[in-house]
Amino acid sequence: MGFVWFWIVAVMLTAYVVLDGFDLGVGILFPLLANTEEQRRLMIRSIGPVWDGNEVWLLAAGGTLYFAFPLLYASSFSGFYLPLMIVLWLLILRGVGLELRMHIDDEVWRTFFDGCFFVASALLAVFFGAALANVIRGVPLGADHYFFLPLWTDWLPGAKPGILDWYTVIGGLVALVALAVHGALWLAVKVSGDLEAKAVRAVRRLWPALLVITGISVPATMIVRPAVLNNYEHYPILFIIPVAVVGALAAMRYLVGRNALGAFLASCGYLIFMLVGAAAGLYPRLLPSSTDATRDITIQEAMAGPYALHVGLLWWTFGILLALLYFITSYSMFRGKVSEQDSGYGH
């Protein structure tokens, strides 16, 4: 059951990154692609009916983590208290920016809330990437499995790291560039005309940066935590994951401007395989220690009781089927390109 719930949590977090990732990407590109109020409304309308629903996956993943691995939940939510509060306020700021920009027909008012939307989206991408890098690098777990991390120390990974160091900054940059590309490809699917052309150009300009930063992140991870290769050495079939990442990057570049939906799906594949690769490297660890490997929080130590996990799996299956039904219905109703003439969100 520990194996099953490990991958359930991983899948839910991956779903959040893929779905809310393009929302964040649109926010990152918001001041860069939209030159007119009409284009800004189109960008917002491209995510309008789904952005808040996409965030449900983050809440669901947190609830699932609490249910399946209570020790990990208690340890990580206390140790990462500072960045979690920052993320919470950024999520609020992003929602406020989207919902309030049109409440008053005033340019200064809209510009302020557009800035909130952009800043919150960009910082959320960086913090989410840095958070994953923190988990891969490890944290200074004590004998009681608790820890505290300042925002930064000497910017070096080690026995007493901060939330931000050179490795976690790389993780944040990977997320920032990857989600910007993801958002641009979503726009290429959902809008048309000049804005679509701008989105395609943005992908072509950002793709080399994504290729380079992805290439840098791999050896950086091996330097910071060589143990991530253990599972790959024991199960060579896992090397198909980095091959799939490269394939997704190549497909993304080839299809952009030719097949918008295909390029977007390639971007989804890139994000999925990057996260699956990280999870495969960590398993069976949930949170490694940066000081003593014997203090790593593992699945066996953190998991809830077997009976609770068996019963919970039944209820989780029922709940996820309802969620999937909602998302399939929502995206089906929202299919096709948006236009300024459409009524509804963002007008």
Distance CA(25)–CA(27), nearest Å, equals: 5
9: which 2 tokens? 């949590």
> Residue 151 corresponds to which amino acid?
L
Distance of CA 101 to the CA centre of its chain: 25
CA-to-CA dists, residue 285 to 170, 248, 302, angstroms:
22, 27, 10
Does the pTM surpass 0.75? The reply is: yes
Question: How many domains, the chain?
Answer: 1
Integer-rounded Cα radius of gyration of the chain: 20
Q: What is d(CA 317, CA 145) in angstroms, rounded to the nearest whole number?
A: 31
- Could you read off the pLDDT of 137-190 as tens digits, one per residue? 999 998 888 898 888 888 888 888 889 999 999 999 999 999 999 999 999 999
Query: 340 lies in a domain?
Result: no
Phi and psi (nearest 5°) for 307?
-65, -45
Q: Are 194 and 244 in contact (CB under 8 A)?
A: no
How far is it, in rounded angstroms, from Cα 21 to Cα 180?
8
Q: Is 342 within the bounds of a domain?
A: no
Structural domain boundaries enclosing 132: 2-333
Looking at residue 153, what is its pLDDT? 85
261 occurs within a structural domain: yes
Name residues whose C-beta falls within 8 Å of residue 251's C-beta, 6 or more positions apart in sequence: 262, 263, 266, 269
Q: How confident is the model over 10-51, as pLDDT tens digits?
A: 999 999 999 999 999 999 999 999 989 999 999 999 998 899
34 in a domain, yes or no?
yes
pLDDT tens series, the chain, 347 aa: 889 999 999 999 999 999 999 999 999 999 999 989 999 999 999 998 899 889 999 999 999 999 999 999 999 988 898 889 999 999 999 999 999 998 888 899 999 999 999 999 999 999 999 999 999 999 999 888 889 888 888 888 888 888 999 999 999 999 999 999 999 999 999 999 999 999 999 999 999 999 999 999 999 999 999 999 999 999 999 999 999 999 999 999 999 999 999 999 999 999 999 999 999 999 999 999 988 888 999 999 999 999 999 999 999 999 999 999 999 998 998 888 987 666 455 43
CB-CB contact of 239 with 227 (8 Å): no
Give the bridge partners for 21, in sequence order: none
Q: What is the pLDDT of residue 143?
A: 87
- List helix spans (H) across 225-259: 230-234, 240-255
What pairs with residue 164 in β-bridges? 152
DSSP H helices in the chain: 2-33, 37-47, 51-54, 56-68, 70-79, 81-100, 107-137, 166-190, 193-224, 230-234, 240-255, 260-282, 299-302, 306-333
**Domain presence at residue 285:** yes
pLDDT for 341 equals 64
Residue 338 counted as domain residue? no
- Residue 25 in any domain: the answer is yes
Residue 290 lies in a domain: yes
Q: What is the CATH number of the domain that holds 299?
A: 1.20.1630.10
Quote the pLDDT of residue 345.
Answer: 52
Q: Which residues face 297 on adjacent strands?
A: 287
